[in-house]
Amino acid sequence: MYKLISAKILALLSKQVPATGIGLFRLFYGLITLQEIIFLLYFNHLIFDPIPYIDVEFPMIPFFLTIWVVIATFIVIGYRYQFAVTCNYIIWIIFVNFTPMQRDFDGGFDLFMIGAGFFLLFMPGDRAFSIDNLRYKLNTPFVHYNAHPKPKVSVLAYYLPIAICLGFLYFDSAIHKMFAEHWRNGLGSWLPATQPYYVSAIDMSALLNNKLLQNIIGYTILIFQFTFIFFFSNRRLRIAYLLVGLGLHLGITLSFNIYPFGLGMIIFYTLLVPFKWWRVIGEIFTANHSSLTVFYDQQCPLCNRTVLILNHLDIFKCIDFKSAQEHAAHYPALASINNETLLTDLYALDSSDRIYSGVGTYIQIFRKMRYLFPLGIILSLPGINYFASKKYRSIADSRNRIPCASTCFAPQNLQINTLYHRYFEQLATQKPKAFSRKLSKILIALLLLQLNSSIHYGLIYRLNINTTQNPIINNISQASNALLMVSQTFFGITPHALYLHDHFAGYDRILAITYTDQNGNERWLPFVNEQGRLLAPNWGRVHSMWANIAVTPNIDNTRLHKFIMKVTAFWGQKIGLDINKTIFHIKLKKISAPSYWVYDQLHKNMASQWVTIGSVKWDNNVISFDLPSNINEL
C-alpha cells in the first residue's frame, strides 16, 4: 500500500490545475464559519452561561467571538491567508474543547470544520479570489495585469481534502448505517424526515409519501458512501459522484434544521467540480467585450496600483485598462486632449465614445462592474460627489511620477510564504520522490487514525464486544481511546453515526414549552411550535441540545431540567418576560419513529395532541420544577 500511495502521489504532484475551486472552497468555508460565529453571538447566553443572563460565567466570550469574526472575514476575502487559517484552526479547537459547545451544543459539524480547517493550513487558498493574490501583484506595480500568470496549483491540493474529509467520513458513516434497520430497509433518509424535531419549515411530504423514491434515495446513499473513496477521482464517474453528493447534502440543508452541516459538506464539492467547468462558467458570466476603456499613466506607481486593484475587483471583465502613453493616440475621440492633460487624470471612454475623467471615471467603472453599481450611484450623489472630487484632486495633483526602465515591466513570480508554497512547491520541486514518500507516511497515519475510530465505534461498540475481560485487549482498547482523543481533537476524526437505530429506537415522545402571559393566555415559547418543529433560529447546535441531549429515547431528568432552565431563562429574557412572574408549562406529545415505511408519517406525528405534564417556576432567579419523576413512563 505504501508504494502504491507514494507512486500515486508522485504522479499527481506535478500535474498543475487552475486554483479556482480552492479559492471558492476557502471563500465558502469562511462564510460558513462567519455565519456560525454570528449564531454563537446571538445564542451567547444560552450556550455559554450556566444560567442565561443570570449566571454569566464567560463575560469575555463576545469579545473573543468578535475577534473570530475578523479572522473569518480575513478568510472570506483571502487576506493574510496563512495567519487567518492558523488562528481559525486554533480557535475552533479551543471553543470546542474548553466551552460547552461540544458537550451540550454539538452542532454536528464542529469536528468536521476542524478537519477542513486543518487541510486549509496546507492548501493554496490564497491563489484565487483573494486579497493576497492582489497583494503580490502590487509588489510589481509596473507589470500589466495581463502579464501576471494565472495561478496554478498541484491537483493534490484538490484530491487530498476530498479523499480524507469526505471519503473517510462517508465510508465510516456507511459502516454504522449497516447496523441500523431503517437504513437496511432503504429508509435512512425517510425516518429522520418524519420526526417533527428534525425537519425544516419546508414540507417534504410529497416526496416522503413515495415509498419507491425513498427506497431509491436510501440505497443510493449507501452505495454512494461505500464507494466514494474508491471512485471519486475516476474521470468517468466524477460527475456522477458530484451530482449525487450535491443532491444529498442540498437535501439535508433544505429538509432538516441542521443546515450548517449540510452547507459544510457542500463546500467540499467545489473541489470535485471538473476544472473545465470553471472555465465554461467563467465564459458565461464574463463580458464578451469591455464596456469601458480606461487610460492611465504608465509611469505613475499610484496609477498602476489603482489599475491592478480595479482590475482585480472587475470579476466580470467589463473594463479594459490601457496605457495612455501607448494607446491613447489610437482613439480619435481623445484627439482633442493633449498628452499632458491626459496624464493628469484617469480618463475613460465608453462604447458610445463618451469621455469621462477623474471621479466621473470611477463612477463609470463601478457602474460597469455590475455588482458595484450601487457604489457608483452613491458616488454620483451631489454632496458625496463634491467631497470625492475634492479628495481625488488633492491626491492626483500631489502624486509622483517615476520614470521606469523596461525591467520594471517584467513580470515576477512573487509568492507569499505559505505552508503550501514551502512544502508542496519548493520542497516537492527539489526532492519530489522524498516528498512523496513523506506525504505517503502522513496519509497512512491518518488512515490508521480513521480505521481506529471506525473499528472502535463501528465494529467493537456496535457488536457489543467486551474488551475488559482480556488484559491484552483491554490495554489495546485504552490505547485506542487515547488515539481517538488526539485524532478527534486535532483532525476532526470522529464516528459519523448520525440518526441511526440507537437514536430513534424508543423515540416516541417529544416535549415543548409554553407560558401564561399577563392576560392569562397560554402562549408557545418561540422554541418548539404546535407541530413539534423547532423554530428558526433554534437550529443547528441548539436543535442538537434539545433534540439529541435533553429529549432522547431515555430522558434523563437531570439533563432535561438543566436545558429547560436554560431555554426558559434565555427565551424569557429575549421576548421580554419577567421570568420570576411567569409560569412555564411543559407539554408532551406522543410520536412514532418506525423502521418501516408508513404513509404520511410526518403529518401523523405533527397532528398528535399535546398534554401538559408539569410546570416550571422561577422565584428570585431560582428555578423549581413540578414534573413527573420518570417521564419515560408517560
Contact between 324 and 342 (Cβ < 8 Å):
yes
- DSSP per-residue string spanning 317-376: --EEEEEHHHHGGG-GGGTTS-HHHHTTS-EEEETT--EEETHHHHHHHHHHTSTTHHHH
Which regions of the chain are under pLDDT 70?
107, 141-148, 402-416, 458-459, 461-470, 472-473, 501
All residues at 6 or more sequence positions from 82 whose CB lies less than 8 Å from its CB, including other chains: 121, 126, 416, 417, 418, 419
**CATH superfamily of the domain spanning 284-409:** Glutaredoxin (3.40.30.10)
Report the distance separating Cα 322 and Cα 310, nearest Å.
13
Supply the pLDDT for residue 176.
87
From-to residues of CATH 3.40.30.10 in the chain: 284-409
What is each CA distance from 415 to 86, 153, 158, in whole angstroms? 18, 12, 20
What is each CA distance from 471 to 189, 392, 480, in whole angstroms? 41, 79, 14
Nearest Cα to Cα of residue 175 among 449, 484, 548, 500: 500
pLDDT digits (tens, 9 = 90+) for 418-465: 888 888 888 888 888 888 888 999 999 998 888 888 887 766 766 666
Name the DSSP letter for residue 549: I
Supply the pLDDT for residue 66.
97
pTM of the model: 0.91
